[in-house]
Amino acid sequence: MSLDFAILGFLSEADQSGYDLKTRCFDTQARHFWTADQAQVYRTLDRLERDHLVTSRHVAQTAKPSRRVFKLTPSGRDALGEWLSSAHEPPPYRDPFLIQLYFAEHLTDDSLAEVLRESRSFHQQRLGDLRQQLSGLLKGKKRLSRRDEFAQMTLEAAMSTERANIDWLDDALETLRAEAEAQERGSAPQKRLFGLNGDTGGETR
């Protein structure tokens, strides 16, 4: 469903082929908020054309296979506008890492620390990728277009999430390290890994 509108959105900016959408949109610009398989792109385009939200025409090329270029129809544009302005529930969380953490009693402290570090590394990599995307977006531009500003905002949003993940993981690793040290020194084992941080009620912040 959302994929439909991501595609309509990209077509609202420029007429494109399925190949363009895959390589120039989903593999690059959009990869931090929506990914799509090549097969998925072509099949969705077929469906959108069947529903008269896009049209296609074949364009021959010299020295390259011919392309099928898609164009947004007026009703496609309407559908996009309506979807963009209405609320959509965020998808449910589904993170294998939290399953691991939830059942971490089966792991040794060392194993758990390793899992935390690996998770951190994944998020660190994603954050690095986001930074690269952002600097690519800003490169050589003194003033961003309104278009670019929104692209930038999506990157900043994703980055703030990644930073939250990394910070949390750092805290958890530090707590684990401190716990291990306390244990080693034979002092009273610090059982509680996390305090309440005053987070059990009241305002958001």
Partner DNA sequence: GACGAGTATAGGACAAAACATATATGTGGC
Partner DNA sequence: GCCACATATATGTTTTGTCCTATACTCGTC
- Position 39 contacts DNA (CB under 7 A): yes
Residue 15 near residue 138, CB atoms below 8 Å: no
Residue 58 near residue 159, CB atoms below 8 Å: no
- Position 56 contacts its own copies (CB under 8 A): no
User: 99 vs 178, which CB is nearer to its own copies?
Assistant: 99
Q: Are strands 16-17 and 67-72 parallel, antiparallel or unpaired?
A: antiparallel
92: DSSP letter: P
Tell which one of 12, 15, 19, 104 touches DNA (CB under 7 A). Answer: 19
Q: Please name the amino acid found at residue 70.
A: F
- Position 97 contacts DNA (CB under 7 A): no
Pick what 20 binds: its own copies, DNA, none; C-beta below 5 to 8 Å, kind-dependent.
DNA
Q: Are strands 67-72 and 54-59 parallel, antiparallel or unpaired?
A: antiparallel
- Position 40 contacts DNA (CB under 7 A): yes
| Residues of this chain that bind DNA (CB under 7 A) | 1-3, 17-20, 22-23, 35-40, 42-43, 45-46, 61, 63-69, 91-92, 94
